[in-house]
Chains A and B, each alone.
Chain A
Amino acid sequence: MAHLVGGLGTSHIPSIGVALDRGQDTGDEWKPFFDGYDFPKSWVAEQKPDIAVVIFNDHGNVMFLDRLPTFALGVAERYEPVDEGWGPRDIPDFEGAEDFSWFLADKMVERHFDPMIAREIEVDHGLQVPMELFFGRPIEAWPVRVVPIWVNTLQYPIPTPQRCWELGKVLREAIDTFPGDDRVVVMGTGGLSHQLQGARAGFINRDADREWLETIGSNPERWTSMSREDYVEVFGSEGAELIMWLVMRGCMNSKVSLKHKHYVVPTSMTGAGCVVLENC
């Protein structure tokens, strides 16, 4: 059966991609941010995953409000980077793990999750940036196949934190029963605290971000017991994206070890960072 090698949580801020495009990752402004990804990158290289499940939200780049699914699952053989308004970025397409995607689709529906199933769809920075942060930017091809899971965090009602957690449980069941010996890494993305809209724009909660990074591994109940409104209040309206890390955390054992955490604030207009978790 497939094997879950670990869970990664990270910000997916678009300006990280822009910094990479412009070669600014070693410059004064960005170095502290990228330095914190040295360990995760070497961890991923050692783990050699075959499949990366990436949980993220579209930012009005691929999906419009005309039909916006609460959860969507990609089953495509290939995902191209989408044009977000500045033209498409010069990174390779992402090869899809079609076989695992369909297996997961069956498992999700069997377990009463009913995602939109997407067979031809592009991906925005929500998937691109975490892939670049953890796998580095390849010239030719990514060293791993991807399974994108989109979560609506753009238009209320967004799914509840509890629902994201439960989705993680179903994802784990799919990994544990998927025939073969694929090594799977799960990436929860988004956050940390930020608010881009309304008079509270620029809201950042440094204490809550630090507590999140410190305890997402050891005390997830602290975070699954919060309401969506709590997330908006504590982490800002766009910081509520953090619910997507709960899919990753829900997928892991109840006991995990925190191998690494990293926090830089402000990055663009957010608190930013990552964690590396391994099952105990």
Chain B
Amino acid sequence: MPEIPDSPMFDREGAIRGYRLNKMAMALSTPENRAAFLDDEAAFLDRFQLDVETREAVVNRDWQEMIRLGGNLFYILKLSAIDPIPLLHIGAAQAGMSPERFKRERLGEKQWHT
């Protein structure tokens, strides 16, 4: 498989490793689990047997690290629904930029045409 830099889609080892992290995040799809997470995050995370590194990344809301550890954005995005964090900030964190710089350098000026 050809390497495309910085695109974790092709990181199969990561995807396999991140299964529990993604499973924890997927569980946040229900209002009951969201309430349980908000009520006692540590107890909620205990249910999913995350390794130490992964657990720390979740607790710190370290998006870059969660993705590096095999988190898939579409699952871990459910964490951002709990502590509302804009997608732009998650993108910026992965690019290692401030949201302002990320917006300017990556997304660019708004243009439209029909």
Label chain B's interface by main secondary structure.
Answer: helix
Across-interface contacts of B4 in A (CB, < 8 A): 229, 232-233
Looking across the interface, which residue of chain B has its beta carbon closest to that of A263?
B113
Contact of A87 among B19, B22, B31 (CB under 8 A): B31
Bound form: Cα–Cα A68–B88 in Å? 28
Tell whether, in the assembled complex, residue B8 and residue A197 are in contact, meaning their CB atoms are under 8 Å apart: yes
State whether B72 touches A202 (Cβ < 8 A): no
B60 to chain A, nearest CB (A): 18
**Among the listed stretches A45-53, A58-66, A69-77, A216-224, which one makes contact with chain B, having 4 or more residues with CB under 8 Å of it?**
A58-66
**What is the chain B residue whose CB lies nearest that of A31?**
B112
> B48 on the interface (CB 8 Å rule)?
no
Bound CA–CA A262/B113 (angstroms): 6
- Within 8 Å by CB of A156, from B12, B22, B106, lies B12
Query: Interface size for chain A: under 10, 10 to 19, 20 to 34, or 35 or more residues?
Result: 35 or more
Is B72 a contact partner of A206 (Cβ separation < 8 A)?
Answer: no
Whether a CB of chain B sits under 8 angstroms from the CB of A32 is: yes
B107 to chain A, nearest CB (A): 4
From 82 to 110 in chain B, residues with beta carbon under 8 angstroms from any chain A beta carbon are 82, 87-88, 90-92, 94-96, 102, 105-108, 110
The distance in angstroms between the C-alpha atoms of A263 and B112, with both chains bound, is: 5
A20 at the interface (CB under 8 A from B): no
Query: A60-B74, A268-B87, A269-B88 are contacts. A198–B29 as well, Cβ < 8 Å?
Result: no
Residue from B2, B22, B23, B94 within 8 A of A199 (CB atoms): B94
A29 to B94, CA, bound (A): 25
Decide if B91 touches A269 in the complex (CB within 8 Å).
yes
Would you list which residues of chain B between 49 and 98 have a CB under 8 Å from chain A?
67, 72-75, 77-78, 81-82, 87-88, 90-92, 94-96
Chain A, Cβ-Cβ closest to B2: A229
Q: Which of A78-86, A101-109, A245-253 contacts B (4 or more CB under 8 A)?
A: A78-86
- Cβ B9 vs Cβ A156 within 8 A: yes
Q: Is the CB of B7 within 8 A of A197?
A: yes
> 0/1 per residue, B17-33, Cβ < 8 Å to A?
00100110110111100
B94 touches A198 (CB 8 A): yes
> Hey, which bits of chain A sit against chain B, CB under 8 A?
15, 32-33, 35-36, 39, 59-61, 64-66, 82-87, 154-156, 195-204, 206, 229, 232-233, 236-237, 240, 260-266, 268-269
Extra contacts besides A32-B112, A65-B22, A83-B31 (8): CB < 8 Å: A39-B114, A64-B22, A85-B82, A197-B8, A229-B1, A229-B4, A263-B114, A266-B108
